[in-house]
Amino acid sequence: MPQDNIVDASKPSAGRMYDYYLGGNHNFEVDRQAADQVLKLVPFISKFLRLQRWALQDVAVELTKNRGYDVIIDFASGLPTADHIHYNVPDGTTVIYSDIDPIVAEYAREILKGTKNVYFFQSDARKPEELLHHPEVEKILGSQRKVAFVYWGVSAFIPDAAISHMAEYLYDWAAPGSCLAFNAQGADANPDDPASVQVLKIYEQMGSEMYFRPLKKFRDLIQPWKPDDNDFVSLLAWHGFDESIISKDDMGSVGPMGGGYGAYLVK
């Protein structure tokens, strides 16, 4: 999720626009105007973000109920609303959320008040060491290193070097058998399409630069993690849709695979 201040209403915020695309209430007029501009250019964006968000809920179920992880560490979480990870995991699962925005962190703690084993910390997704070495996180985890990380809905806002750093750092920190649920956000979208060019410009002007990369590039950046046997799955296929839900114009910018993939990367 994009990272900026949740209460600064003087300029559009990528995080609050994200909330608006998903039909949330945590956005202001300035965000809605900017988001409507983007939606005019690429109407599929609101569907694309839903595909991404739905997959996150499936990830929470898969990691805990099917793969048995009892610790989930999520980066750039945004607000832990009713569709987030802790709503979809068994009781007793430890969920550690994080976000760079201090107000999001405060609001999140308010939402989570009294929720057992669920924590929220202010931390930068580009520097996972900040979160993992936070004294409270160290206390919660103790010596446990076999965990599931979630890096979902944020990678299009992270530069190449920071994705590489994140992947390498988490790999070195984690025990064998750990997993990184990774969303290759915006993968195979076409940055040269005229609508994409304008969308990228809007975000750049807001100070939230976006990066559209081919899936192949993501594969390089997430080394040394390897996808499991399912490999990267397009978010369309993930939910049983095909390209018929994308208009011809939208396909020019997001590509036939809907603009994103998800994978379970394993150590």
User: How many chain residues bind another protein (CB under 8 A)?
Assistant: 27
In 3D space, the residue among 181, 7, 17, 185 whose CA is nearest the CA of residue 105 turns out to be: 7
| Member of 1, 4, 27, 47 binding another protein (CB under 8 A) | 47
Supply the DSSP string of 108-135, one letter for each residue.
HHHHHTT-TTEEEEE--TT-HHHHHT-H
CB of 198 to another protein, least distance (A): 23
Is 54 a binding residue for another protein by CB under 8 A? The answer is yes
> Going along the chain, which residue ranges are E strands?
71-74, 94-99, 118-122, 148-151, 179-185, 226-227, 233-234, 260-266
Interactions with another protein, residue window 17-46 (CB under 8 A): 22-25, 46
**Residue 224: cis peptide before it, omega within 30 degrees of 0:** yes
Interactions with another protein, residue window 64-123 (CB under 8 A): 81-83, 87, 102-103, 106-111
In whole angstroms, give the CA distance from residue 173 to residue 177. 12
Is 53 a binding residue for another protein by CB under 8 A? The answer is yes
Contact track, another protein, 143-182, x by CB under 8 A: ----------------------------------------
* Residues at the contact surface with another protein, assessed by CB under 8 A: 7, 22-25, 46-47, 49-50, 53-54, 57-58, 81-83, 87, 102-103, 106-111, 239-240
